[in-house]
Amino acid sequence: MILGYFDEGFLTLQYYISREFIKYHVDNDSFQMPTLTMQRFPYPAWTYDPLLLALRGFLSLMFMLSFVYPCINTVKVITTEKEKQLKEAMKIMGLPNWLHWTAWFIKFFIMLLISIMLMSILLKVRWFPDSDFSVLNLVDPFLLFVFLVCYACAIITFCFAISVFFSKANVATTIAGFAWFLSIQYSTLSLAEKMLICLAWNSAMAFGFQMIIMWEGTPDGLVWSNFFSSVTPDDSFTMAHVILMLIIDTFLYLIVALYVEAVFPGDYGVPKRWYFPFTKSFWCGNTKNTGKYTE
């Protein structure tokens, strides 16, 4: 890549001005300027691709918009079930709460898994038979798939967390839509700040795709061998951090959903005390009197 200052003439102008300034202050006719040479600061090899610059912001935005409808629909379906008291009916019939959430998770995970598989294929497929061109040439396809699967799990548990705050499907759907668009951010931050912002699942996805695109500009691309390595020497943020934060997001949203549902069950159900996770009965179960009675 040829930088602009080689052709703009500023370095030449700067050299002559500096030379005359030095001669004026030295006041010696026999003074000779030393030979001036330049060498660029060393930097790892990378590939200049204008398409990668456009994809850094566009790819994450495209994925965010692609999952808007599944997110809103998931929240609506779960909240509609609660609004129609179907969940309470299943509880009366003996359905455990963990099994209820597991069934929802498996259903939506299978739906998103189909989309993720198609997206992974479209990003890695060779679009022209006589060339090696694809959207992402170098990234490991299985690593890309794992990244998107973690993102899908975070989406599902986020929808769970949103649904438990509302009893009306329309209100929950509206709030979910707003929260979806507010969760994506782009900034140059420290490692701790990036990890904190990755608690918003869309921000973690955006950082992940940004790193994938940056690795595409290197000769290796993002593969398992550099999974724990940073793409630039001045950045300690790695793809391992992104996937770790997506996994943390998944469990964090799930814990929020289960806790809020237990403490604030809405119009139906018996609320538990706010400190119920710290009680003995929560971890060990209720003790039952097994003694025998005689008349």
Give the DSSP letter of residue 34: P
Q: Which residues on neighbouring strands pair with residue 230, listed in sequence order?
A: 238
Of 158, 273, 171, whose CA–CA distance to 204 is shortest?
Answer: 158
pLDDT at 269: 67
Span 150-171, pLDDT tens digits: 999 999 999 898 888 876 666 6
Does pLDDT of 5 surpass 90?
no
Does pLDDT of 140 surpass 60?
yes
Q: Are 136 and 212 in contact (CB under 8 A)?
A: yes
Q: Phi-psi bin for 266: left (phi > 0), alpha (psi -120 to 50), beta?
A: left
Q: How confident is the model at residue 293 (pLDDT cuts 50, 70, 90)?
A: very low
Q: Average of pLDDT values for 247-260? A: 91
Span 195-204, pLDDT tens digits: 888 888 888 8
CA–CA distance, 83 with 211 (Å, rounded to integer)? 42
Query: Which range among 56-60, 146-150, 203-207, 277-281 has the greatest average pLDDT?
Result: 146-150
pLDDT at 202: 85
Residue 149 to residues 115, 155, 205, 243, 276, Cα–Cα distance (Å): 10, 10, 11, 10, 32
Span 40-90, pLDDT tens digits: 777 666 666 767 777 777 888 888 888 888 888 888 888 888 878 777 788
Does pLDDT of 23 surpass 70?
yes
CA–CA distance, 47 with 218 (Å, rounded to integer)? 6
Q: Are 70 and 111 in contact (CB under 8 A)?
A: yes
CA–CA distance, 250 with 270 (Å, rounded to integer)? 26
27 token code pair: 């006041």
Does pLDDT of 106 surpass 80?
yes
198 token code pair: 């990755």
Kindly report which listed range (26-30, 56-60, 150-154, 234-238) carries the lowest average pLDDT score. Answer: 26-30
The phi, psi pair for 43, rounded to 5°, reads -150, 145
Give the residue, 6 or 115, on which the prediction is more confident. Answer: 115
pLDDT at 289: 54
What's the mean per-residue pLDDT of the chain? 80
Does pLDDT of 214 surpass 60?
yes
The phi, psi pair for 230, rounded to 5°, reads -85, 150
Does pLDDT of 29 surpass 50?
yes
CA–CA distance, 109 with 105 (Å, rounded to integer)? 6
Residues above pLDDT 90, as percent of the chain: 21
